[in-house]
Amino acid sequence: MAGGPSSLLPPLETYIDEEAIWIGVDRGVLYLLENGIIPVRGFGDFDSITEAEREYLHNYVPHLSVFPAEKDTTDTELALQWAVNQNPDRIYIFGATGGRLDHLFANVQLLSSDLYVGADITLIDTLNEVSVHVPGSYEAELLENFPYISFVPISAEVENLTLEGFKYPLKNCHISMGSTLCISNELVASKGTFSFTNGILMMVRSRD
């Protein structure tokens, strides 16, 4: 849980289960506590909260890692590094969209970096789910709360993109960075597939 605008957070109870391990980033630690979730760790410089709030965090969070404001990585990346090292099945990132655009773009770029690309990591807010994929074949299930699916190349080219089970199918199509060909597609069945042979592809599932 990062510290983006709380108004963009989805209902967290949807993602709470016995196997979930929660960690907070900066103000995101407060968001978790406000939702009755005690994170196992907290990361950040905590420059966006008051001294009283810091004391509150120290009383409730078992492990709070405080870093200087001037550093070479963002608070979110510090938390993501720790999370990836736990070898989880998947990672959901909340509170990482909205507000400052530099934070948004940095968080999306994290998913495509050499350290994290290919891992099962999804950015989630009330209107979107964002994931980044390496070459291969993937299944996409119909989600009523996120009916629109867009595919955006975030490498120079994505080669042989094939979409099956979609309203606008494709067969072995090459798309370049900057292309809007695959924006706002929809599934026409309970599930579909997408595959490609080269490049890095971002999938954005959205609702209005």
Separation in Å, CA 97 to CA 32, 142, 163, 189: 16, 23, 27, 29
pLDDT digits (tens, 9 = 90+) for 147-178: 999 999 999 999 999 999 999 999 999 999 99
**13 plus 66 within the same structural domain:** yes
**19 plus 122 within the same structural domain:** yes
Domain encompassing residue 57: 6-126
108 or 206, higher pLDDT: 206
The 10 Å Cβ neighbour count of residue 153 is: 22
Task: Judge contact between 26 and 3, C-beta under 8 A.
Answer: yes
**99 plus 194 within the same structural domain:** no
Is position 1 within any domain? no
**62 plus 18 within the same structural domain:** yes
- Number of H-type helices and E-type strands within the chain: 4, 13
Structurally, the chain folds into a number of domains equal to: 2
Cα gap 124→113, rounded to integer Å: 18
Task: Return the structure tokens found at 30.
Answer: 């407060």
**148 plus 163 within the same structural domain:** yes
Is position 119 within any domain? yes
The CATH number that applies at residue 39 is 3.40.50.10240
User: Model-level pTM greater than 0.75?
Assistant: yes
pLDDT digits (tens, 9 = 90+) for 54-94: 888 888 888 888 887 788 788 899 999 999 999 999 999 99
Is position 15 within any domain? yes
**79 plus 157 within the same structural domain:** no
20: exposed, middle or buried (C-beta count within 10 Å: 0-12, 13-18, 19+)? exposed
